[in-house]
Chain A
Amino acid sequence: MEQRLANCVQLTVNEKQFIENALLSELRVDGRGPLEYRKLSIKFGKDDGSAEVQLGETRVMSFVSAQLVQPYKDRPNEGTLSIFTEFSPMADPSFEPGRPGESAVELGRIIDRGLRESRAIDTESLCILSAKLVWAIRIDIHILDNAGNLVDAANIAALASLLTFRRPECSLGGEDGQQVVVHPPEVREPLPLILHHLPVAVTFGFFSNENLVVLDPTYHEEAVMTGRMTATLNANGDVCAIQKPGEQGIFQHIIMHCLKLAHVKAGDITAKIKDAVEKHNNERALQKIKRRSSSVSVDVCGTTARLGGKQNQSGGGKDNSHLDQLKPKDEANFMECDATSSGQVQINKKDEGSKNFTGGPSSWYGKKDPYSECVNSDLLKAPMDSEC
Chain B
Amino acid sequence: MESKLSGSATNLVDQLVYPGDVVLDLSSMTNQTIKLGGGLRQDSDVISVMKAGRLRFSKPNKYWVESSQKRYVPHAEDSVLGIVVDSRSDNFLVDIKGPAIAFLPVLAFEGGTRRNIPKFEVGALLYVRVVKANPGMNPELSCTDASGKAGEFGALKEGYMFECSTGLSRMLLSSPTCPVLDTLGKKLSFEIAVGLNGRVWVNASSPSTTIIVANALINSEPLSGVQQKIMAEKLLQRVQ
Contact = CB atoms under 8 A, between A and B. Distances in A.
Most buried by A among B93, B159, B160: B160
B117 interface: no
Contacts of B26: none
B158 A18 contact: yes
Contact of A2 (B100, B123, B215): B100
A27 B208 contact: yes
Q: Ordered nearest first, which 4 A-B pairs have the shortest CB separation?
A: A22-B207, A18-B160, A12-B125, A13-B123
Interface in B156-186: 156-161
Interface stretch (A3-11, A73-81, A351-359): A3-11
Interface in B122-160: 122-125, 156-160
A27 B157 CA distance: 20
Nearest to A11: B123
A175 interface: no
Interface string B70-92: 00000000000001011000000
Contacts, number: 67
A5 B85 contact: yes
B191 interface: no
A14 interface: yes
A31 B158 contact: no
23 contacts: A2-B100, A2-B101, A5-B85, A5-B93, A6-B101, A9-B83, A10-B85, A11-B123, A12-B123, A13-B121, A13-B123, A14-B156, A14-B159, A14-B160, A15-B161, A17-B158, A18-B158, A18-B160, A22-B160, A25-B207, A28-B211, A29-B211, A30-B215
A14 B158 contact: yes
A61 B161 CA distance: 31
B220 interface: no
A8 B85 CA distance: 9
B83 A10 contact: yes
Interface residues of B, number: 27
Interface in B169-220: 201, 206-208, 210-211, 214-215
A27 B209 CA distance: 11
Nearest to B121: A13
Given A2-B93, A2-B100, A30-B215, A18 B123 contact: no
A21 interface: yes
Contacts of B101: 2, 5-6
B66 interface: no
Contact of B124 (A6, A9, A13): A13
Nearest to A28: B211
